[in-house]
C-alpha cells in the first residue's frame, strides 16, 4: 500500500520536472506574419538559452515549418493574369504576352517580414515548381506563354543570415491553349486565272486561320496576308499579287478561349512552308486608273481652286491622290494652275485625312498607278479569262462583230470578237493613253466612226511631227501610230518605257497594231474606255 503511494508521488515529481524544462520555439517570421499559422516542427531548448536570447527572432526559419502545402492552403499571395493583346497573330507560342499582377492579401504580413530583416524574392513557377521567370515587381510583370497546359503560381522566398526558406505562394492560375499547326497544306496556281489557291485540313476547335505570304524562303513575315474568320473554311484564293515570282505560304490556326476571367485568342505554330511560282499576269480585279503625285516643296492646302484661303500645309514629299484639276480643259502644252488632292492616313493607303487644292508647281509630275514592270507585255495585264468574264458580265454589245476595250489602268488595248455575252479575246497589245493634264476620256459608249491616214502636229518647241492610220472613237481622239518628225522616220514620241500614260488624249500604238485596227475594225464598233 505504501509502495503504491510512493510510486504515484515519484511520477508526479518527474512530470513536474519535465514540464519545467520544456520550451516550444516558434520562428519569429512565422509569429509576425500570420497569427495562428501552424508550424510543422517543434523544437526544444533549455529555458536558460531562451532567456539569454530574449526573443525567438534570432531563430533561423526551418523550411519544414513553412511547407508548400501549408502556404498553398493559406494562399497569402494572390495572382491574376490578362493577355496584353487579343490579336491572335501576335499570340503565337513563345510570343503570347500575358500581363501578371501579384499582391499580398494582407500587406502588413509583407511589411513585418521586411522589418524583421528578411529579404523577399519572387518567382513565377509552373504546377511542377519549375521556375519560369524571376520577378522584380509583382505589381505588374509580363511573361510570354510558351505552350499549352502550363499552370502558373507566384512564389515568395525569404532569405536571412545566409539561409533561405520558401515562405508563401499563390493559388494556381489556369493555363492557355494553342492548337496544333494545320496539316495537308497545298498551294496551286493555274494558268487560266493566275490566282494562287491555298488549301489545308480542318483543325479541331479552330475559330479561324491566318495566311502568310512572302518571297523570302528563310522567314515567316511578321504580318499575315489574310485572316480567315471561320474555322470551317479550309481554302483561300490569293489574288493581290503581280509579277513572275516564287511565293511561300504558311497557315496558322486560331483558337478562341477564356482563362482566368479574360477572353483570349492564340495562333498555332505555322504549318510547313509551301511554295508556288506565279505567271506574269495581274490578279487584282478589273479597275480604272488613279492619279497620284508627291509634293516637291511645302505646299499650302487651299479651300478652293481659285481663292487664297488655306487650311494647312502639306510637308515636302507628301504622297497624295489627285482627283481634279483647274482649269479642267488644258490646251496643247499648257498645265493646270491647281489640282485637287487627298492625303491618306497611312501614306499610300487608308482613310482620307485631308483634302484640298494645291498649286501645280508645288508638286512633282502627276502619274497613273499603272502596274509597272520591266516586261510590259504580260505581267501588267489580266488573263484572257479575266477579260472575257468582265466584258461578258457587263453585257456590252457592239454593232459589229468586234468590241474594243482600252484599259487605262494596264495601258493595254484588247480586241474581242463575237457577240454580246459571248465575246472572246482576239488580240491584245500595249498602248499609251492620255496623261493627267489631257486624259483619254472614259466612257462605255464610244464607237469607231471615221478613219484618217495622217495628221501633223507641232512639238512644244514648234517642230512639226506626224502620225498615221487614225481610227477615231471621239470627236478628236483616236487610235494611231507612234510619232515621227515630219519628212523622216525618226521617232519623236514612241511607246512609254515606264508604262505611264503620255499622250494628249489619243491612244498611241505600235505601228503594226494601229495599222491593223485601221484596216480591220469597221465603223460602228463599240469602244470601252475605262
Residue 288 and residue 530 in contact, taking contact as beta carbons nearer than 8 Å: yes
Helices (H) and strands (E) in the chain, counts: 7, 33
Q: Which of 110, 149, 105, 103 is nearest to 130 (CA)?
A: 149
Residue 132's H or E segment, with its range, is strand 131-135
Residue 124's H or E segment, with its range, is strand 119-125
Q: Which of 206, 149, 171 is nearest to 68 (CA)?
A: 171
Residue 420: CB partners within 8 Å, gap ≥ 6? 395, 396, 397, 398
Give me the catalytic one of 156, 363, 480, 483.
480
Alpha-carbon gap, residue 506 to 485, rounded angstroms = 18
Neighbours of 24 (CB within 10 A): 11
Residue 146: CB partners within 8 Å, gap ≥ 6? 93, 94
Q: Which of 197, 220, 385, 377 is nearest to 278 (CA)?
A: 197
Among this protein's residues, is 506 annotated catalytic? Answer: yes
E strand map for 378-513: 402-407, 412-417, 424-430, 443-447, 450-458, 464-472, 478-480, 483-485, 491-493, 507-508
Give me the catalytic one of 189, 363, 431, 506.
506
Residue 161: CB partners within 8 Å, gap ≥ 6? 60
Instruction: Report DSSP state, residue 471.
Output: E
Owner of C-alpha cell 492552403:
73
Q: Which of 415, 431, 446, 435 is nearest to 494 (CA)?
A: 431
Catalytic residues: 480, 506
Amino acid at each position: 500500500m505504501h509502495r503504491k503511494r510512493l510510486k504515484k508521488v515519484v511520477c508526479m515529481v518527474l512530470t513536474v520536472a519535465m514540464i519545467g524544462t520544456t520550451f516550444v520555439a516558434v520562428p519569429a517570421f512565422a509569429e509576425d506574419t500570420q497569427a495562428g499559422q501552424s508550424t510543422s516542427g517543434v523544437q526544444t531548448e533549455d529555458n536558460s538559452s531562451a532567456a539569454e536570447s530574449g526573443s525567438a527572432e534570432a531563430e533561423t526559419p526551418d523550411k519544414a515549418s513553412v511547407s508548400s502545402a501549408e502556404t498553398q492552403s493559406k494562399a497569402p499571395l494572390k495572382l491574376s493574369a490578362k493577355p496584353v493583346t487579343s490579336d491572335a497573330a501576335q499570340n503565337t507560342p513563345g510570343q503570347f504576352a500575358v500581363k501578371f499582377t501579384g499582391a499580398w492579401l494582407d500587406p502588413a504580413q509583407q511589411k513585418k517580414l521586411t522589418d524583421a530583416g528578411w529579404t523577399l524574392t519572387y518567382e513565377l513557377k509552373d504546377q511542377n515548381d519549375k521556375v519560369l521567370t524571376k520577378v522584380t515587381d509583382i505589381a505588374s510583370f509580363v511573361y510570354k506563354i510558351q505552350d499549352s497546359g502550363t499552370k502558373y503560381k507566384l512564389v515568395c522566398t525569404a532569405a536571412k543570415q545566409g539561409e533561405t526558406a520558401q515562405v508563401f505562394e499563390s493559388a494556381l492560375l489556369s493555363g492557355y491553349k494553342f492548337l496544333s499547326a494545320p496539316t495537308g497544306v497545298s498551294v496551286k496556281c493555274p494558268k487560266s486565272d493566275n490566282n494562287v489557291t491555298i488549301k489545308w485540313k480542318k483543325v479541331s476547335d479552330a475559330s479561324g486561320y491566318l495566311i502568310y505570304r512572302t518571297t523570302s524562303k528563310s522567314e515567316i513575315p511578321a504580318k499575315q496576308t489574310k485572316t480567315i474568320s471561320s474555322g470551317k473554311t479550309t481554302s483561300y484564293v490569293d489574288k493581290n499579287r503581280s509579277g513572275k515570282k516564287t511565293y511561300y505560304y504558311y497557315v496558322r490556326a486560331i483558337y478562341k478561349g477564356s482563362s482566368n476571367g479574360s477572353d483570349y485568342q492564340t495562333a498555332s505554330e505555322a504549318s510547313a512552308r509551301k511554295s508556288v511560282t506565279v505567271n506574269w499576269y495581274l490578279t487584282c480585279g478589273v479597275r480604272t486608273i488613279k492619279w497620284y503625285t508627291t509634293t516637291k516643296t511645302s505646299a499650302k492646302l487651299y479651300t478652293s481652286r481659285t481663292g487664297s484661303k488655306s487650311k494647312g500645309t502639306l510637308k515636302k514629299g507628301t504622297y497624295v491622290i489627285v482627283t481634279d484639276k483647274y482649269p479642267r480643259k488644258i490646251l496643247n502644252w499648257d498645265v493646270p494652275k491647281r489640282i485637287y488632292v487627298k492625303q491618306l492616313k497611312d501614306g499610300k493607303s487608308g482613310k482620307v485625312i485631308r483634302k484640298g487644292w494645291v498649286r501645280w508647281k508645288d508638286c512633282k509630275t502627276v502619274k497613273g498607278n499603272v502596274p509597272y514592270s520591266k516586261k510590259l507585255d504580260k505581267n501588267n495585264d489580266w488573263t484572257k479569262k479575266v477579260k472575257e468574264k468582265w466584258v461578258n458580265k457587263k453585257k456590252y454589245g457592239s454593232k459589229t462583230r468586234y468590241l474594243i476595250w482600252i484599259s487605262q489602268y494596264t495601258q493595254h488595248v484588247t480586241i474581242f470578237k463575237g457577240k454580246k455575252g459571248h465575246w472572246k479575246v482576239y488580240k491584245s497589245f500595249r498602248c499609251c493613253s492620255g496623261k493627267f493634264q489631257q486624259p483619254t476620256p472614259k466612257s462605255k459608249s464610244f464607237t469607231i466612226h471615221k478613219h484618217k491616214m495622217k495628221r501633223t502636229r507641232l512639238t512644244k518647241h514648234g517642230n512639226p511631227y506626224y502620225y498615221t492610220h487614225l481610227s477615231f472613237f471621239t470627236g478628236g481622239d483616236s487610235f494611231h501610230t507612234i510619232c515621227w518628225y515630219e519628212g523622216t522616220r525618226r521617232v519623236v514620241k514612241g511607246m512609254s518605257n515606264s508604262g505611264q500614260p503620255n499622250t494628249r488624249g489619243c491612244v498611241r500604238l505600235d505601228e503594226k497594231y494601229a495599222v491593223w485596227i485601221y484596216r480591220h475594225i469597221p465603223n460602228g464598233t463599240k469602244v470601252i474606255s475605262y
